[in-house]
Structure 1
Amino acid sequence: MTDFTELFNLKGKKIIVTGGAQGIGHEFVKAFKQAGAEIVVLDISDKVASLSSLNVGYIKCDLMEVEKIKLYFKQALELLDGKLDVLINCAGIIKRSPAVDVPLDTWQKIFNLNVLSLFELSRLAAVEMKKFGQGKIINLSSIVSIVGAYNSSPYSASKGAVLQLTKSLSNEWAQYGIQVNAIAPGYILTDMNSDILQDSVRKKEFEDRIPSKKWGDPQDIVGTAMFLATKASDYVTGILIPVDGGVLSR
């Protein structure tokens, strides 16, 4: 008989969060830590004060240096005493410009972080999770993986790749008790959108597209991530969950 008190229990769970020093990733770190999880953050940011106060592990690293990802993962795993329950791939970048003006090295950097690092970390995580017959991998995609973006073609393409990777990896690893899912945030109040938020006209244009008539807060994504990280989602895999105030339903 199912013990429903354990469905959302995260106490003692060992979690790696990329991009956890700021934005949506930082909200994940705070919430999961409060729920009793042990966490290691992989991030390039210098914003360590916000992490040290939470008593979580931190490895400062550039995940665009794909040849070093195995080392970063090994270091994180050691901090978690050799076991990993949940991987949250949250690190990402966006560079807005018309498609004809995008330098190819910018395209490559976006894909290295948004896609290739996610793929490599997920593969490394799956190897460890298979040893215990269970695990959760949560990828941050975006609503632009469905609707496309304007002046952000590399970002949109990278998030579409994240969605397809989520499905493909789920197909391979579900048989081992590993659930791979993705979250699609909508228009969220983060530094990534600072250029839009500072333009009152554009900000209002975006708000008008949202049935909820307001931008989302990073904390709005937390509940979905916690669901996907717990036993409550053990039979949920290979899906994309929009958290967008209704944008994709229009």
Structure 2
Amino acid sequence: MSTGPFDLTGRLAVVTGARRGIGRAMAEALAAAGADVIGVSAQLEEDPQASEVGRAVTAAGRRFEAVRCDFADAAAVDDLGRRLAERAPDILVNNAGTIRRQPAVEHARELWDEVLQVNLSSQFALTQALAGPMLERGSGKVVFTASLLSFQGGINVPGYTASKSGVAGLTKALANEWAGRGVNVNAIAPGYIATDNTQALQDDPDRSRSILERIPAGRWGRADDLAGATVFLCSRASDYVDGIVLPVDGGWLGR
């Protein structure tokens, strides 16, 4: 029985990049709100009890399935989309991503291609596939993981910035087409979150200090700081919310 607009009981959610960090926190938050979860990651353990995210989801009393997919492999993503579309999930959280740091003048083309494939092209392909059943039934939630670099330029990450700016634009474009058909498309823009992707920044005393000085909240974010925004955008509470890129950044963009 539903207990309110944030309740996800009976919903099936696909969360990509679910093995660790932000994706894991998102999957756990959706399970805590009542959703069953299909977690997708390149190296995710297939036994639900062998991964931390699988154990957390099942401990919340929800079902967890693990699917492996390399998002740098376009053919593998197309196959994943076909298989998952047959399950007709209610929620898609496009969180899988990668980052490659190199000054723009030296930035290898293969790194650029990899980042754009993982962070943008694969997200579009998977969303195309899973949106079909959502549009047919007239309901569904799609959430992308954007970035502060959807708004800013960053340093030494031209491919990442381009891809995350693309995610912000894609979010709006899909929302324009699908909002009137019952499918909400939005994005979350995490601030500086203490994960593997930001380890190089955390380990650099000067960069870490300059980052902390800019964050009004006075701390690096934690992956579970994304939980509330994730549940909101995947629940009935956001039924009239379309095409937004929601920063969860400790006040960084407001500074």
The match for 2:66 is 58
The answer to whether the 8 A contact 2:2-2:9 is kept is: no
The match for 2:84 is 76
The answer to whether the 8 A contact 1:40-1:76 is kept is: no
The answer to whether the 8 A contact 1:99-1:152 is kept is: yes
Task: Indicate the SS of the match to 1:245.
Answer: coil
Q: Which runs of 5+ in 1 are unaligned?
A: none
Distance 1:44 1:209 in 2: 34
Equivalence map 1:98-177=2 (5 Å): 98-177=103-182
Give the partner amino acid of 1:170.
A
The answer to whether the 8 A contact 2:149-2:161 is kept is: yes
Q: Give the alignment partner of residue 4 of structure 2, picking from 1, 6, 10.
A: 6
Task: Indicate the SS of the match to 1:159.
Answer: helix
Q: Does 1:22 align with 2:24?
A: no
Q: TM-score, normalised by structure 2?
A: 0.92
- The total of aligned residue pairs comes to 245
Give the partner amino acid of 1:236.
V
Give the partner amino acid of 2:233.
L
Q: TM-score, normalised by structure 1?
A: 0.93
Q: Does 1:242 align with 2:247?
A: yes
The match for 1:35 is 33
Q: Does 1:201 align with 2:199?
A: no
**Pairwise CA distance, 1:9:** 0.8
Runs of 4+ in 1 over 6 A off after TM superposition: none
The match for 2:218 is 213
The answer to whether the 8 A contact 2:85-2:130 is kept is: no
The match for 1:227 is 232
Task: Indicate the SS of the match to 2:137.
Answer: coil
Task: Indicate the SS of the match to 1:131.
Answer: helix
Distance 2:18 2:164 in 1: 18
Deviations 1:11-67 (A, max 9, x none): 111110000001000001112122221111110124552234234111111011112
The answer to whether the 8 A contact 1:181-1:239 is kept is: yes
Distance 1:225 1:52, change over 3 A: closer
Give the partner amino acid of 1:31.
A
Distance 2:151 2:171 in 1: 14
The answer to whether the 8 A contact 2:84-2:130 is kept is: no
The answer to whether the 8 A contact 1:64-1:109 is kept is: yes
Distance 1:200 1:186 in 2: 18
Give the partner amino acid of 1:58.
A
Deviations 1:180-235 (A, max 9, x none): 00111110000000111122222111101111111111111110010000000000
Task: Indicate the SS of the match to 2:9.
Answer: coil
Give the partner amino acid of 2:88.
K
Task: Indicate the SS of the match to 1:174.
Answer: helix
Distance 1:100 1:207 in 2: 28
Distance 1:76 1:122 in 2: 11
The match for 1:191 is 196
Distance 1:123 1:77, change over 3 A: closer
Q: Percent identity?
A: 37
